[in-house]
Structure 1
Amino acid sequence: MATSIGRRVLHGGVRGVVGGLIATTLMTLYRFPVFRALPPTADFWAKYVGGGDPEAYPGTGLLLHFLYGGAAGGLFGAGVSLLEFRSERHRHLATIGLSLVYGLALSVLGTRFIFRYLLDEELEPAEALTFHVGHAVFGLTLGTWMNSKERSGEVYE
């Protein structure tokens, strides 16, 4: 039994990492045209590791952003794999709802802890809205991925 749970958690974690990377890609594509700023990971790198201006670390900032997104996805995937549902329909609905809440929780963590305490910065209201909606995109994409079938080919019944 424990081995079965361990396999399920590992499988969910791996699927979550892939989903987190896909979700981070879509979130980044959503926010770039309207936000026009590097993810806060570039600011973090400049402040705590590299020094200087965050604009000097676009590649590092994006790499860290994708690593964070993949790790966050893996954590969600492992966690949701532990849950039992009454039916496939309940699993789909709950996973989407939980992933949206998870994405928004990550957003609140970003604005309340990362920006405010680690980076000593504050987002303007319009930027905060874009930041939160981007994380909603992340959550919904992650949940959709976690609900997807692992097969290719015909998907319409």
Structure 2
Amino acid sequence: MTVRELDASRRRIDVQRGPTAGSAPGVLRGLLRGVVGGLLATALMTLYRFPVFRALPPTADFWAKYVGGGDAEAHPATGLLLHFLYGATAGGLFGVGISLVDFRSERERRLGVIGLSTAYGLALSAFGTRFLFPFLLDEELEPDEAVIFHVGHVVYGLTLGTWIGFRDRKGEVYE
């Protein structure tokens, strides 16, 4: 096989794969999947958290302190809307980042995305407890509240990773 034939063969394989890691269509697809996954993950995290924690997300405190004034309980809808906006944005960022990773197989991609998204959820949680609560809200979570906060973010990460990792990737071929 000549070099020209080998190059033509490689191009045919690349065409069959569809968007590759880091390509513009792949990044856009990752962004969209991440935003949808972030919304879904935020919904499940909130559903997990609310019956146990029985409080609005900290975004209501943020809104009350910096924008709306008064008590956080006076801004439940805005707090939830902001919470979902942050969750969608965080999901979109993860979706873009994970679209840049080139996995060797479908199994590796699925497990890798779930593992990385769980770590991402914990990183978001640590950022919240180490930076947002003490510096922006002048608050500190009680130990029991912190556990619920961290587990809620694990739920977020697992949901986000499962959503992104198991979306159909038509036309891709792993060698």
Say yes or no: TM over 0.5.
yes
* Residue identity (%): 72
- CA drift of 1:7 comes to 1.1
Gaps of 5+ in 1: 152-157
Name the TM-score, length of structure 2 as normaliser: 0.83
Q: Which residue of 1 aligns with 2:60?
A: 42
Give the one of 127, 137, 145 matched to 1:127: 145
Give secondary structure in 1 for the equivalent of 2:141.
coil
Given candidates 26, 29, 47, the residue that maps to 2:44 is 26
Aligned to 1:154: none
Instruction: Please say if residues 110 and 166 of structure 2, whose CA atoms lie closer than 8 Å, have aligned partners that are also in contact.
Output: no
Q: Which runs of 5+ in 2 are unaligned?
A: 1-13, 170-175
Deviation at 1:6, TM superposition (A): 1.0
Residue 108 of structure 1: aligned partner: 126
Aligned to 2:159: 141
CA-CA distance at 1:149 after TM superposition: 3.0
Instruction: Say which one has the larger Rg.
Output: 2
Q: Distance in 1 between matches of 2:166 and 2:78?
A: 31
CA–CA separation in structure 2 for the residues paired with 1:78 and 1:89: 20
Alpha-carbon distance between aligned partners in 2 of 1:108 and 1:73, rounded to the nearest angstrom: 16
- The aligned amino acid for 1:56 is A
Q: Which amino acid aligns with 1:107?
A: S
Task: Give TM-score, length-normalised by structure 1.
Answer: 0.92
| RMSD (Å) for aligned C-alpha atoms | 1.5
For 1:103-149, what per-residue CA distance to the aligned partner results, in whole angstroms no more than 9, with x for missing partners? 00000111111101000000000000000000000000000000123
Q: Is the aligned partner of 1:93 residue 2:111? A: yes
Looking at structure 2, the residues matched to 68 and 116 of structure 1 have their Cα atoms a distance apart, in angstroms, of 19
